[in-house]
Structure 1
């Protein structure tokens, strides 16, 4: 019998905190709805991510909660208790999240038994991170879902919904853009993951001059200066930060884009979920951590000849993201643009290109 019975009436799924991880967890939501079709499924997310996941057909209710602060654990436990779930599936790895679940009094608490938190769960799946390097985050979530829900296979396709409201917000944000456009996403949560702004500008200028596409530059409010630097180097580009883009509008923008060129950060996963072609740049973060099966993407690594037994995270100097030449990115972008405009469609996997790496590209199920 699976830890979460198929007769469960109320299921709470505690979602990851990072935007990209949250999107990579959407196959778990689909699996839960398929396994327990009559259950009321409630998703617990960080504020803002409820807007990102709005319209998801697998969840009945989203609860947005900021768990930070001294009282964060108690506040989280109180919110969970009010849901009165029969069972809860814990996706975050944090001890605090497991503690809040225990304090909530939820009868069935399933998650990974790691980082000394196994005693807080009623059902813990063993995980030795020293022997599991690297494992794709998507596969990591699917393993937990298969075990906890008692299913043998799960569709690994990511899911995001774009509403008409999102599309209207995107149209307003993209005012003045009438033809095809490419999105550049130069930000990232760590400086080491950010390809230089001037290199993004080189790529933007080349694609604009050679192919007549408009360049749209995205970033979070905290990445305002990076976005401004890229826009300064690309004539007639659009600065989405200055236009106040929201997550909902960003979904609509990326849905319409010809191509997204990005560092390994959240908007990559938005594009992947929406079937928009991608060129993704990896520095000292191994791409095998975030393998996404079945999507249209060219991965470019700082060291495409890194031996399989090495992990990019462990050799940051060798895998410094600034080592990626702009010419490789332009080549990859033009290859994708040529295939899209030739009518090959979106959302299909791509073959390897010069300077590109497809490590860990096997399909998870």
Structure 2
């Protein structure tokens, strides 16, 4: 049986969807699994032995200038991956539904009340209901399980095996030099995709200044994120890691005793790799992560809608540094 998942973006959602792969393979061990993903997120899935084929698509390039030649080339890439027996659009957007339709006729997806873009459901042969208020990895697992007629329970997800992998042959010595033996290594993801998910620079400084005997490493991606991270490093004992590709990011997370960050893609890598983490939530609900004894959420206390998020909500700034410190002390 040839199965395909369509989950193009974003990093956190790709990570949470990938949690289901091991359960697909356990239930259908002879299946061949293909994944359609946006090109820049493809490395997050690489080196997973249970994903048979990753098809990286540069749909983002169409925003800069769509042309018939580009569209034909992308469509050809998708079609050449078939024929596929069953295709599941986990994203629920028109663009992901179109990709799924090109990949195969037996297309599963969310019904019009569940999909982020309800009109996308018109392109599916099979439509399934999933509650948007559910825990993120379980929402995606529910759609996949309904589509394939398999079971993926919360108990199964809680006992998952790590499923993100880095290249074991790659020289990571430039990252290794930042980690210390004999004391806990704390990795802090200082930025996020939206300001509403970003903890204030002053708050990070206050937290770090209270920590003793901890090797604190900062991770930042964009130019703006690195500028703010440099301010934190200058004011504290924390050190900023060099720019990391996704393979290096996975490797760095694997070496940390604890990861601390907001509700952003890089932060969710820790749960996927069965590493301890503390995530901060303001404008988004804690259902955006799968909480365990070693993966905990700290919320701002704001009244957040479970399905619709306010990008202007800056309540994450209301989380007291002391609350973060208390969680860190217990975890470390």
Query: TM-score normalized by structure 2?
Result: 0.85
> 8 Å contact 1:284–1:313 — kept in the other structure?
no
Return the alpha-carbon distance in structure 1 between the equivalents of residues 39 and 194 of structure 2: 21
- Decide which of 319, 322, 328 is 1:324's aligned counterpart: 319
Distance 1:178 1:319, change over 3 A: closer
Partner residue in 1 for 2:229: 227
- Residue 6 of structure 2 contacts residue 89 of structure 2 at CA under 8 Å; is this kept in 1? yes
Aligned to 1:109: 107
Q: Shift of the alpha carbon at 1:322?
A: 0.9
Deviation at 1:79, TM superposition (A): 1.5
1:177 is displaced (CA, Å) by 3.4
- 1:312 Cα offset (Å): 9.7
**Maintained 8 Å contact 2:221/2:243:** no
CA deviation map 1:183-215 (0-9, x unaligned): 1111111101111012112212221xx2x2221
Number of residue equivalences: 312
1:284, distance to aligned residue in structure 2 (A): 1.5
C-alpha change, 1:133 and 1:43, in structure 2 (3 Å) is closer
Counterpart CA distance in 1 for 2:32 and 2:311 is: 45
The offset of 1:221, in angstroms, is 2.6
Query: 1: distance between equivalents of 2:305 and 2:178?
Result: 47
Q: Is the 8 A contact 2:178 2:217 kept in 1?
A: no
The corresponding residue for 1:341 is none
Task: Quote the residue 1:215 is aligned against.
Answer: 216
Query: Once the 2 structures are TM-superposed, how far is the Cα of residue 60 of structure 1 from its aligned partner?
Result: 0.9
C-alpha deviation, 1:113, in angstroms? 2.7
Change in Cα spacing, 1:149 to 1:173, as seen in structure 2 (3 Å) is: same
Provide the residue aligned with 1:135 in structure 2: 134
Counterpart mapping for 1:1-365 below 5 A: 8=1, 10-68=2-60, 69=62, 70-71=66-67, 74-84=72-82, 85-102=84-101, 104=102, 106-114=104-112, 115-126=118-129, 132=131, 134-154=133-153, 155-156=156-157, 157=160, 159-165=163-169, 168-169=171-172, 171-179=173-181, 180-207=184-211, 210=212, 212-222=213-223, 223-235=225-237, 237-240=238-241, 243-288=242-287, 290-294=288-292, 296-303=294-301, 320-337=315-332
Taking structure 1 as the reference length, what is the TM-score of the superposition?
0.78
Q: Using the alignment, how far apart are the partners of 2:331 and 2:54 within structure 1?
A: 36
For residues 60 and 11 of structure 1, the distance between their equivalents in structure 2, rounded to whole angstroms, comes to 10
CA shift in 2, pair 1:161/1:108, >3 Å: same
Contact 1:184-1:200 at 8 Å conserved across structures: no
Gaps (5+ residues) in structure 1? 1-7, 338-365
Deviation at 1:227, TM superposition (A): 1.6
Using a 3 Å threshold, how does the CA distance of structure 1 residues 144 and 253 change in structure 2: closer, same or farther? same
Consecutive unaligned residues of structure 2, counting only runs of 5 or more, are 113-117
Residue in structure 2 matched with residue 345 of structure 1 by the alignment: none
SS at match of 1:330: helix
Rounded Cα–Cα distance in structure 1 between residues aligned with 2:279 and 2:19: 22
Is the contact between residue 17 and residue 45 of structure 1 (CA under 8 Å) also seen in structure 2? yes
Contact 1:260–1:277 (8 Å) recurs in 2? yes
What is the root-mean-square deviation in Å for CA atoms of aligned residues? 2.5
